[in-house]
Amino acid sequence: MPDPLPPPRPAVVKLGGSLVGTPALTPLLAALAGRGAPLVLVAGGGPLADGVRALQPRLGLSDAACHRMAILAMEQTAHAFADLAPGLALAATPAEIAQAHAQGRAALWRPAAMALAARDLPESWELTSDSLAAWLAHALNATRLTLVKSAPAPIGSGPADWVAAGLVDPLFPAFAARLAGPVEVALPAALAAASARKDIAA
């Protein structure tokens, strides 16, 4: 009997916090849940991370503490997304992601377990959920990374241009450079259409 084929490599999709509270969010989550494996979704911190930013000067919090709090904000946003789209499977580790994919489900990353234990992530506001998504994509050997934004990227641009346009954090190009597959910015409607065509993980 031939050896079984290895599982397909995942594709990582980062959903920007700017989508929270917009009409596009719930239909997009439903479309991605319907697409299923081998997707891995990363939720931005959204308003919860903004709350951490607002709280920092009031309490005099360190950047290190705010870094950890912002990761927990992403974790809470992931729980919110899972409530909006029950077909998504919350997953904290590569093993849990693989288990979700074995069930045919798209995984929704809970970042706290991995990100808070990491020693290669700067504890700074210069690191946002975009760079965390690229960090996860590298850890999972993902085929591609798609950042879903409310604003489009300029045609023909790349990560350095996205920093200049304010679309990503200044550390993102270095994290993205480690990825073997393509890195792209997509609008919610375009991603939902790609999901419907079943070609998002290509």
By the 8 A CB rule, do 40 and 12 touch?
Answer: yes
Q: What digits encode the pLDDT tens for the residues 150-197?
A: 888 988 999 999 999 999 999 999 999 999 999 999 999 878 776 665
The closest alpha carbon to 100, from 175, 114, 61, 109, belongs to 109
- Going from the C-alpha of 68 to that of each of 6, 47, 57, 194, the distances in angstroms are 35, 16, 16, 34
Give 7's pLDDT tier (boundaries 50, 70, 90): confident
pTM: 0.92
Give me the pLDDT at residue 202, please: 41
Q: What digits encode the pLDDT tens for the residues 124-139?
A: 999 999 999 999 999 9
Q: What digits encode the pLDDT tens for the residues 54-113?
A: 999 999 999 999 999 999 999 999 999 999 999 999 999 999 999 999 999 999 999 999
What domains lie within the chain, and their CATH numbers?
11-196 (3.40.1160.10)
